[in-house]
Amino acid sequence: MSKSKLGIIGGSGVYNLPELSGAKWHDIATPWGAPSDALLEGEIDGLPLVFLPRHGRGHAVGPSDINYRANIDALKRVGCTHLVSLSACGSLREDLPPGTFVLVDQFIDRTFKREKSFFGPGCVGHVSMAHPVSPTLVERLEKAAQEAKIPHSRGGTYLAMEGPQFSTLAESRLYRQWGCDVIGMTNMPEAKLAREAELPYATVAMVTDFDSWHPAHGEVDVRQIIAQITDNVEKARKLILTLISDFPREAEPCAGGSDKALEFAILTAPENRDPELMKKLDAVASRVLSR
């Protein structure tokens, strides 16, 4: 059994983890290009952590321009065994007001401008996305939220839109009719790529607003979002510190099979695989390609 190394992807407002001891920023090269920023590595209470600001420090990278493949590859490359995604989002439900943390378990992907897979011509792979998050990791996050007394809801569907504009009123109403719970711009294809990289993944969707559907809320106001993000960031840090206090130092198997997602996923025969693509897959798929 390998040692645990927890990866944290910080969304809007979460650009650092000041609690890390021995923290050091360092650049990681990937065959998919540059990640959003350097990685911050250190530890808390003896647990190794890696932090990546999804939008870069200073929020310089928009949701459609994030190199999601490079981000996931870099986190896998430095040895992360689990990934927790912290993401600002809008609420599509009255009972999920701003300040609520939603532990998402499903996604609907409405993005269309992004590279969504590590696989392609020369190596075809199909992973199951029926259950995209790690139930083991979600259980630990739920326990941490309870202990930290953070308003939260376990389970929910995250609608990933392209952005950078917010939803029209008609779109917001449509997504509510679909049964979606929260809406954001960044968790797809991030969750898909984490699954392909066999990294147990969980999303903490931190509600900042009611999107545009709420009759008393009106249209999304960036000033209000920023004020709520500030409060959410403090709660997010508290959540992560509480999670770490009880996080297993030995990497435990994922009950949802995320850590074995590629077991039967690759269909291309070894003799037909593109050597150049095989080199690029050295970090994310080495467990199955080396056999």
At 117 the pLDDT is 98
Structure confidence by residue, pLDDT tens digits, 65-124: 999 999 999 999 999 999 999 999 999 999 999 999 999 999 999 999 999 999 999 999
**Which DSSP string corresponds to 95-142?**
TS-TT-EEE--EEEE---SS---S-BTTB-B----SS-S-HHHHHHHH
At 1 the pLDDT is 65
| Bind-site residues | 12, 54-55, 87-88, 185-186, 209-211
CA 118/CA 165 separation, integer angstroms: 27
- Is 103:202 a contact under the CB 8 Å cutoff? yes
Task: Say whether pLDDT at 216 is over 90.
Answer: no
Task: Say whether pLDDT at 291 is over 80.
Answer: no
| Bind-site residues for substrate | 185, 209-211
Structure confidence by residue, pLDDT tens digits, 2-17: 899 999 999 888 888 8
Residue 109 is a catalytic residue: no
- Among 109, 181, 209, 259, the active-site one is 209
What angle (nearest 5°) sits at the alpha carbon of residue 78, between those of residues 73 and 83?
A: 65
Q: Is 60 helix (H, G, I), strand (E, B) or coil?
A: coil
At 218 the pLDDT is 62
| Bind-site residues for phosphate | 12, 54-55, 87-88, 186
H helices present in the chain, as ranges: 68-77, 135-147, 169-177, 190-196, 222-245, 275-280, 286-289
- Is 78:39 a contact under the CB 8 Å cutoff? yes
Q: What are the structural domain ranges in the chain?
A: 6-289
Give the pair of three-digit tokens for residue 146: 């309870």
At 219 the pLDDT is 65
CA 220/CA 166 separation, integer angstroms: 7
At 224 the pLDDT is 76
Residue 73 is a catalytic residue: no
Task: Say whether pLDDT at 188 is over 90.
Answer: yes
Structure confidence by residue, pLDDT tens digits, 129-159: 999 999 999 999 999 999 999 999 999 999 9
pTM of the complete model beyond 0.85: yes
Among 153, 112, 157, 111, smallest CA distance to 131 is for 157
- Among 73, 109, 211, 259, the active-site one is 211
At the topology level, CATH places domain 6-289 in: Rossmann fold (3.40.50)
Among 61, 63, 95, smallest CA distance to 160 is for 63
Structure confidence by residue, pLDDT tens digits, 17-63: 878 899 999 999 999 999 999 999 999 999 999 999 999 999 999 99
At 14 the pLDDT is 86
